[in-house]
Chains A and B, each alone.
Chain A
Amino acid sequence: MNRRLAVSLSGVGLILLLALAAPILPIHDPLQMAIGQRLAPPSETYWLGQDEFGRDVLARLIWGARASLFVAAVSAGVALCIGTALGVLGGFMRGFVEVLTMRSMDVVLCFPPILLALLIVTLLGPGIGTLILVLSVLFLPGFVRVAYAGVLSVRSNEYVEAQRVLGASRGRIMLRTILPNIAGPLLVQLSLAVAAAIVLESGLSFLGLGVVPPAPSWGVMIRAARAVMDRAPLLLLFPCIALTLTIFAMNALCDALRDSFDPHARTPRARARRVADLLAPGLLPPPRTAQAGEAVLDVRGLTVEIETPGGSIQPVQDVSVSVAAGETLAIVGESGSGKSLTGLAAMGLLPSAARVAGGAVLFEGTDLARAEEATLRALRGGPMAMIFQDPMSSLNPVHRVGRQIAEAIRAHQTASWGEAHRQAVMLLAKVGIPDAARRARSFPYELSGGMQQRVMIAMAVANGPRLLIADEPTTALDVTIQAQVLQLLADLKRESGLAMIFITHSLPVVAEIADRVAVMYAGQIVEEGRVVDVFSRPLHPYTEALIASAPAEDGPPPTGIPGTVPPPNALPSGCRFAPRCGYRIPACEAAPPALMTPEPGRATRCIRWAER
């Protein structure tokens, strides 16, 4: 059990215990009047003083808690049970049941709460039973709606359909699968309802519609104290403090409960970028060699670090790649290889939890790892551009695509809106969108995935970039559309001579589009070279295994690589691929291998490359 849960649980427990133990506590009778000592201040016998009839305030507070908490707990509990049942039925059965449950709740919501309370109290007369009925009815719609919304989002998950496939009955699915998965929001709703019920109980009792005096309740106490506020302000303070503390404890408990029921909640929280990095990027260790080469982008010894509660991890370690004008470099690797982080670091777009811990990213001589944000902003979308995997989430859904491209143009060039829009239409036509002038007025959702990706490409090339970083640009597309987009990228590169970094997990796509390839595994480059050389004669066992994993249209069935990529906080001490490698010898696990250069333009991180 975590500390938060323990603390909040003991807080609520203490309040409950006090309330429950009221009859046996050595306190005064809450109804015992002493008119002579009315409004007496706190004393040794009466710790919190006496009220307008000389009754002990402390005793009334504790007895009042009994009434307030009992009413709140019972009414919230009744509303929870009935509301959840109705909401789950409505959400799961749909159709007629859905209309019946949801619309009836809308009717309840239409009544102003006080009016509803007045109505019921008039019919049944004030008292604790009436109060519970009023509050349950008032809280019911909240629970129904929360349960209903939860069911709608949970039922679209495949694990619900999996239960149907297994032959589970509806009742079983609702109880065993859906209910546990909507428990979180329901608990939050419960905490809100209990807190609101305590307040409402006090409010209704204050109005004289709830607990009937002289029986104590917090609302009755506040009501009575109001009349003598000018003479004994403390009387008003004590029930209010009790109310606040109770509600606070309830909310804390429900938050803690929700988190402890969720098996996901134990994930580490990302830490913000270190202040020092923001203030003085120059404090980084200097790059090993400072002068720029011919490459458009030259990444030298890039290391990216992420601080986690378990210590810092390096998802990208000592990565050096470069790409020249007119060249396509593919960075290939599986998930967790660090390929996407490398691309983001090259654009200066690392998430806030990650930071460049070493190395340099030289774009035409400018070190992006040390550049000011303003410099980066001038470069991004201008001389260097990026395309992402999911075009739908990269495009702004509420603006027409032509406007979005025009905006990208105006961010880097001085052009009027009309001029920028004309250019945008031209660009759309260039990336193969038929009827470009009309399509420019479309919203992103009106376009198919392939069209959206074309729009993204048009936006990326709008300002004539010299470097284009494409992160899995075709992964979300169908194979015939992927072929079209690959062709488009190849054409663009040939026409404009831009340098392209193509990040992908698909070896056939690499073979299709790239000149050179860098293979990444667990944050490191394990092999690099010309595509033709690497595919015909891989010099690292991981590359070899990766090629054997991709099903070819002819040849033997694919063989997988045993095991999985090691997580960055549990890397092997020697070669990172050694545990999954068929060529492993003791020397592999002794020390991490360096990146070797077996021949010009090739690199491998395998100590046994010469034996292949």
Chain B
Amino acid sequence: MSAPLVEAEGLTCHFRSTALFRRGPTVRAVSGVDIAVSRGEAVGLVGESGSGKSTVGRLLLGLLKPTAGSVRFDGCDLATLATAELRLLRRRMQLVFQDPYSSLDPRRRVGAQIADGLAIHDLVPASERPRRVAALLDQVGLPAAYAERYPHEFSGGQRQRIGIARALATEPDFLVADEPVSALDVSIQAQVLALLAELRPRLGLAMLFISHDLPAVRHLCDRVVVMYLGRVMEEGPADAVFASPQHPYTVALLSAAPSLDPTRRRTRILLRGEPPSPINPPSGCVFRTRCPFAISACADGVPPLRPAGRTGQRKACIRDDIDVSAMPSAVVDSV
């Protein structure tokens, strides 16, 4: 495989809330994450709320500065760039937001908002922009006449298409999609997912698809990275991770998603308790407080990511002597 387009090493991001006279607690949003996205590759970043997945997306785009670690985009370290250079680079990396309502400016026509990227980077002369906006709207399946309307005249799905058109306007190489469908209705979700699945290979986009919807990730992505409480638990080819998960957390996460088939109300693995606070994460393996396989050694050190299984995955778990498919489980039925 060629060198990755985006590559992050040891990415760490801690937020400290600062009041005037005292230091607030430190939120360890992301700790020691390595992640890489190659040209034309779709990587799924999966995790629950508080896992730090959105933070990773913003770190890769240089919207947040990492506390430690580095992000390289096409060979150049984002930390070494001046603000103006980073702004120029923004043409090549874009973000699709989760909330289609707050991500569009309510007071400007959508055509002008789609053309913003073209205007900022002076890519297309002003006289050509309406034609380019029309082509972009067409690309996301909307009529060109919509350019003259305001965001509140559109449904959630249409707004998300507009958001995608805005992100694609500068012809980026790298797209971060941060939960792009979780605010949409089911039938509209599938439309937007299908649009992303169709556009990505055609435009040769590298994509980081951030989601908590595991089946959607499976259909859209080549590789999957599973995060929990700011750390990577498991990563590997999408098919392999879904077919034979290696880390206990991945197993539990897959099992928790309800199935569409009512005859298969299966035995399900119920994790005890709730994720700990990222202000005070457990020592060693962050998952150990909810892991049914935890032993005292799990508290000793942060487990490194290492190869596991025969299908090219890597997991951050010190135990090889366990059968994750035999996790303690509970039966859910409603009869």
Contact = CB atoms under 8 A, between A and B. Distances in A.
Of the candidates A164, A450, A509, A547, the one having the most CB atoms from chain B within 10 angstroms of its own CB is: A164
Given A263-B107, A557-B194, A512 B90 contact: no
Contacts of A167: 87-91, 117, 120-121, 170
A226 interface: no
B327 interface: no
Interface in B48-106: 48-49, 61, 63, 87-91, 93-95, 97-99, 102-106
Interface in A114-169: 157-159, 161-169
A511 interface: yes
A281 interface: no
Contacts of A508: 257-260
A261 to B, nearest CB: 8
A335 B184 CA distance: 9
Contacts of A532: 262-263
Contacts of B273: 434
A32 interface: no
B311 interface: no
A480 B194 contact: no
Interface in A540-561: 545-553, 557-561
A486 to B, nearest CB: 7
Interface string B202-242: 00000000001111101100000000000000000000001
B152 interface: yes
A14 interface: no
B189 interface: yes
Contact of A482 (B93, B185, B215, B256): B256
B294 interface: no
B274 A481 contact: yes
A258 to B, nearest CB: 12
B121 A560 contact: no
B106 A478 contact: no
Given A161-B63, A167-B91, A559-B194, A328 B186 contact: no
Interface in B140-154: 150, 152
Given A480-B252, A493-B334, A549-B189, A181 B107 contact: yes
B103 A546 contact: no
Contact of B258 (A450, A511, A515, A548): A511
Nearest to A328: B334
B208 to A, nearest CB: 13
Of the candidates A167, A334, A506, the one having the most CB atoms from chain B within 10 angstroms of its own CB is: A167
Of the candidates B48, B167, B262, the one having the most CB atoms from chain A within 10 angstroms of its own CB is: B262
A610 interface: no
B139 interface: no
Contacts of B335: 494, 515
A22 interface: no
Contact of B185 (A334, A510, A552, A562): A334
A564 interface: yes
A557 B213 CA distance: 13
Q: Which of the four size classes fits the interface of chain A?
A: 35 or more
A559 B106 contact: no
Interface in B91-140: 91, 93-95, 97-99, 102-108, 113, 116-117, 120-121
Contact of B102 (A157, A261, A493, A509): A157
Given A181-B105, A551-B215, A478 B49 contact: yes
A161 B116 CA distance: 13
Contacts of B260: 507-508, 511, 535, 547, 550, 552
A512 B333 CA distance: 8
A423 interface: no
Contacts of A328: 334
A401 to B, nearest CB: 16
A172 B253 contact: no
B330 interface: yes
A13 B111 CA distance: 35
Contacts of A263: 106-107, 150, 152
B261 interface: yes
A513 B334 contact: yes
Interface of A: 157-159, 161-169, 172, 177, 180-181, 261-264, 328, 334-335, 434, 448, 450-451, 478-484, 486-487, 490, 493-494, 505-515, 531-532, 535-536, 545-553, 557-562, 564-565
12 contacts: A161-B95, A165-B94, A167-B117, A180-B107, A335-B185, A448-B274, A479-B212, A482-B258, A483-B268, A513-B334, A535-B262, A564-B155
Closest 9 CB pairs of A and B: A560-B191, A167-B90, A560-B190, A551-B215, A508-B258, A561-B187, A158-B103, A334-B185, A478-B48
Given A166-B166, A181-B107, 13 more contacts: A159-B102, A166-B94, A168-B87, A168-B116, A335-B185, A486-B332, A487-B330, A546-B187, A550-B190, A553-B259, A560-B190, A561-B191, A565-B185
